[in-house]
Structure 1
Amino acid sequence: MTHLFHPQNMDLTPFLFFTGKGGVGKTSIACATATALADKGEKVLLISTDPASNLQDVFGIHLTMAYKEIAEVPNLFVSNLDPEAAAADYREKIVGPYRGKLPEVAVKQMEEQLSGSCTVEIAAFNTFSSMLTDQSITQTFDHVIFDTAPTGHTLRLLQLPTAWSGFFKTNTHGTSCLGPLAGLSDKKKQYEETVQALADRKRTTLMLVTRPDISALSEAARASKELRNIGIENQYLLVNGRMKEFSKADSLASAFIKREQQALAHLPIELKNIPAFDLFLAPFNMTGVMNIRRLFSTENSSEAVQTSHTDQNKIVQYPKLNVVIDQLLKQKQRVIFTMGKGGVGKTTIARRIAVGLAAHGNKVHVTTTDPAGHLDELISGENGNITVSQIDPKKEVERYRLEVINQSKDQLDSEGLAYLEEDLRSPCTEEIAVFRAFADVVERADDEIVVIDTAPSGHTLLLLDAAEAYHREIAHTAGEIPASVRNLLPRLRNSDQTAVIIVTLAETTPVFESERLATDLKRAGITPKWWVVNQSLAAAKTIHPVLQVRAANEHAWIERVAIDSEDHMAVVPWHE
């Protein structure tokens, strides 16, 4: 029997974390839950810890780190934790006291050390941790709800309390001299309290949001296991996007239902003993308070039927993906990125592009920096001209640690070497190590076409923005800058060599997020060449009432993508 998720009828803990694979609906469900609890009369604070947050799109208002009340929902307050703003505050806290006291060149060097993505990660966690331990917040609100980032980032964020606690326990020399760690000396007690709050079953619940498909369920299982290992054991499973049976059915709707039934029949063992709840696929976009309140309504299906239109079966002939592949072949670009919000299908598009390029006799190497990527499963045995790799953060960290220590051990005394080893045990090391591996993969473009399935937008931008900071960091620790790193940014900015393809869905949040991604990339000197609208119902044919409404809603967003891309776009239909 299906158990529907109705948070207003549940006894929920003060802290709620919504996490899961990108695109499964974390933000929608977190917003709807916060609204339902506020409508019930409870005072709620909703916070996004996602670098690619879209809370402002859902509520239609500008949000900052200072929480503000939603006028249409009394008792609901919302805050958008901006990692860049948090990093700026963190930098100034460290550098500010030295302005006017040290030479300007020394202050400038401190600012440079604090300009990397590692600082952004630490600063964001600082703010996150403060909200969990600030009594003025915990005593003011009945519930504090965190709309967290896609799974890979969330695991890193939530593992930080344990990581930093372990770092402090084994650190005998104080905090690191390497910039980003300089502001942590007074945080030990706060981080210990954060660990306690996360592990307290009476205070914290982890809401594992998933779709009824194998990939999303696998990610939920991985998150469940890893977070349970760091003490977060109070978990719920929310299966979002379940399909309802209708008398009007077709092959596409039947394929949806068959796929979800098969996925749920093979539920990973890690999820089988977790209380599970369903949410039906909504026929509307999750923007505006009215639609947010409709998510938990039982009337969604009848509303879909009533709003059905005769022109919803119309299929518009949009450009197909082979147009993009043909142009990539013509222009002979050697580095190809698929970028976009988590869950839009970057991995699938990367696979199809790689297969298309290899079919013309090209040697292609396809890789992912996304912890949730599964390229080897998709490409295995498909074409002899394709090779596959995946950047494993844990392996890269160990490789990087050994390299730095081996390069430095002859220049440092025992105390200096111990100090360096402590620096390399900090959580920041992962970002540097992964970036190094990323640069090495791009270097392969001299011999073959490199297709890179990147992580979700926020993490991707942090990774790319780390380039210049990494130059300084690797020079500081290892004394040299690898050629792959020196060559990376010039290659990324050279449109003759590199093509950036933004992958999106024909929905509100993915399109808004893609537009922000395009703006950020242009600011970094990288211009997206193509946009791909993936998993389009408008490009397919269906008579299922809910799918019809969703298909009709897509046309306006596809037209917007056409404008954003200056008609450099393709549309990939849902396949049965």
Structure 2
Amino acid sequence: MDVLAKITPNGHRRTLFFAGKGGVGKTVASCLTAVWLARQGYKTLLLTTDPAAHLGDVLGAPVGDAAAPVSGQPNLWAAKIDPKTAAAAYKTRILDDACQRGRPAQAIKIMAEELNSPCTEEMAAFDKFIDFASQTDWQAVIFDTAPTGHTLRLIELPMDWSQQIDIKVFASVETSAADDVAKQRFGQVIEMMRDPAQSTFAFVMYPESTPILEAWRAAQELGTVGIHAGLVVANFVIPPEQATTPFVRARRAMQEKYLAEISERFTTPVLQIPLLPQEVKGLEMLAVLGEQLYGEKVAA
């Protein structure tokens, strides 16, 4: 499967996830991909689940909690999933549901304590992600994810959904119809993640040992739940023509060694984003980089 087949819709909505350790350039990779898809005419939603979101800085436009058009780029919407806001709404919904079902006060108190656990923010963020993923308004959805360890926990959360159901209904032997619908939604999204015709996981790294190893381990762990890497993006690659001094030549030689290691470890296409003299900001620069990676604009 070529690169364009991995990023464009083809009978299904295309969902792309960008993963990697902090600071490798996931936001830039996701933004330039979203801008490129929007310029092809695809209705594209760009999301972040990163609590320290830099999406708005890179796009040059504010990004809020609700999906809103990105000014200056037709066919592109963006939204930020705030874990704390999502967690508050999630806890309120579950506890209100328990009250409406007539659960004992002591049971509700225990549930509230359980929902104060650290994983609640992650579960709530994933629940919000499910809301977006279940909508049919977009042809492509791009996720600028949090650093690798956090991302893996988000992906693993649906595997523990039954445990969350147990927390909600431990005083009863039956789950509600709403719980059944929620479990079905989670199951459908996980199957979508596992289907390469619908989803692509792209691992972003720069050509050095630590980000490569972290991405490799994350990819291996995802593989154990049936989700496989579809693309690799190598960022901050020194262009050969810029290797004109001993220092830069040495850095370029080091990068070439690690680029070879990336190709050996990952059996997927490897895209390269060059090291630039300025930071990547704004739609115009993202459009230029998108064409460098994916080619010129073509009809959708």
Instruction: Place the TM-score, normalised by the shorter chain, in its bin.
Output: 0.7 to 0.9
Indicate the residue corresponding to 2:284 in structure 1. 290
Indicate the residue corresponding to 2:130 in structure 1. 129
Based on CA coordinates, which of the two structures has the bigger radius of gyration?
1
Q: Deviations over 1:447-494 (max 9, x none)?
A: xxxxxxxxxxxxxxxxxxxxxxxxxxxxxxxxxxxxxxxxxxxxxxxx
Aligned equivalents of 1:44 and 1:242: distance in 2? 27
**CA positional deviation for 1:295:** 2.2
Are the structure 2 counterparts of residues 42 and 29 from structure 1 closer, same or farther at C-alpha, using a change threshold of 3 Å? same
Query: Which amino acid in 2 is paired with 1:48?
Result: T
Indicate the residue corresponding to 1:320 in structure 2. none
SS in 2 for 1:202: coil
Is the Cα contact below 8 Å between 1:95 and 1:107 reproduced in 2? yes
**CA positional deviation for 1:185:** 3.9
**CA positional deviation for 1:129:** 2.2
Are the structure 2 counterparts of residues 85 and 26 from structure 1 closer, same or farther at C-alpha, using a change threshold of 3 Å? same
SS in 1 for 2:235: strand
Query: Which amino acid in 2 is paired with 1:54?
Result: H
**CA positional deviation for 1:51:** 2.0
Query: Which amino acid in 2 is paired with 1:67?
Result: A
Query: Which amino acid in 1 is paired with 2:143?
Result: F
Indicate the residue corresponding to 2:119 in structure 1. 118
Aligned equivalents of 1:93 and 1:10: distance in 2? 35
Is the Cα contact below 8 Å between 1:130 and 1:190 reproduced in 2? no
Are the structure 2 counterparts of residues 102 and 279 from structure 1 closer, same or farther at C-alpha, using a change threshold of 3 Å? closer
Indicate the residue corresponding to 2:295 in structure 1. none
Are the structure 2 counterparts of residues 125 and 43 from structure 1 closer, same or farther at C-alpha, using a change threshold of 3 Å? same
SS in 2 for 1:65: coil
Which of these residues, 192, 211, 219, is aligned with residue 216 of structure 1? 211
SS in 2 for 1:53: coil
Aligned equivalents of 2:54 and 2:276: distance in 1? 19
Q: Would you say how many aligned residue pairs link Structure 1 and Structure 2?
A: 281
For structure 2, list consecutive stretches of 5 or more residues without a partner in the other structure: 293-300
Indicate the residue corresponding to 2:298 in structure 1. none
Are the structure 2 counterparts of residues 123 and 11 from structure 1 closer, same or farther at C-alpha, using a change threshold of 3 Å? closer
Indicate the residue corresponding to 1:67 in structure 2. 67
Indicate the residue corresponding to 2:296 in structure 1. none
For structure 1, list consecutive stretches of 5 or more residues without a partner in the other structure: 299-576
Aligned equivalents of 2:79 and 2:34: distance in 1? 12
Are the structure 2 counterparts of residues 174 and 25 from structure 1 closer, same or farther at C-alpha, using a change threshold of 3 Å? closer
Q: CA RMSD in A?
A: 3.4
Q: Deviations over 1:530-564 (max 9, x none)?
A: xxxxxxxxxxxxxxxxxxxxxxxxxxxxxxxxxxx
Query: Which amino acid in 2 is paired with 1:205?
Result: T
Is the Cα contact below 8 Å between 1:208 and 1:237 reproduced in 2? yes
Query: Which amino acid in 2 is paired with 1:126?
Result: D
Aligned equivalents of 2:259 and 2:279: distance in 1? 25
**CA positional deviation for 1:293:** 2.0
TM-score with structure 2 setting the length = 0.81
TM-score with structure 1 setting the length = 0.44
Aligned equivalents of 2:218 and 2:188: distance in 1? 22
Which of these residues, 149, 153, 157, is aligned with residue 156 of structure 1? 153
**CA positional deviation for 1:6:** 8.1
Are the structure 2 counterparts of residues 266 and 8 from structure 1 closer, same or farther at C-alpha, using a change threshold of 3 Å? closer
Is the Cα contact below 8 Å between 1:225 and 1:270 reproduced in 2? no
SS in 2 for 1:253: helix
Indicate the residue corresponding to 2:273 in structure 1. 279
Are the structure 2 counterparts of residues 7 and 211 from structure 1 closer, same or farther at C-alpha, using a change threshold of 3 Å? farther
1:240 and 2:223 aligned = no
Aligned equivalents of 1:197 and 1:10: distance in 2? 14
Aligned equivalents of 2:287 and 2:142: distance in 1? 17
Aligned equivalents of 2:238 and 2:124: distance in 1? 41
Are the structure 2 counterparts of residues 268 and 242 from structure 1 closer, same or farther at C-alpha, using a change threshold of 3 Å? closer
Q: Deviations over 1:45-84 (max 9, x none)?
A: 0111112221122223332221000111010000101111
Is the Cα contact below 8 Å between 1:282 and 1:295 reproduced in 2? no
**1:83-482 equivalent positions in 2, closer than 5 A:** 83-96=83-96, 98=99, 111=112, 113-132=114-133, 134=134, 137=135, 139-164=136-161, 167=163, 175=168, 185-186=179-180, 187-233=182-228, 235-246=230-241, 249-267=244-262, 269-271=264-266, 273-296=267-290
Identity score, percent: 33
**CA positional deviation for 1:290:** 2.3
Are the structure 2 counterparts of residues 247 and 241 from structure 1 closer, same or farther at C-alpha, using a change threshold of 3 Å? closer
Q: Deviations over 1:312-336 (max 9, x none)?
A: xxxxxxxxxxxxxxxxxxxxxxxxx
**1:6-45 equivalent positions in 2, closer than 5 A:** 11=8, 14-45=14-45
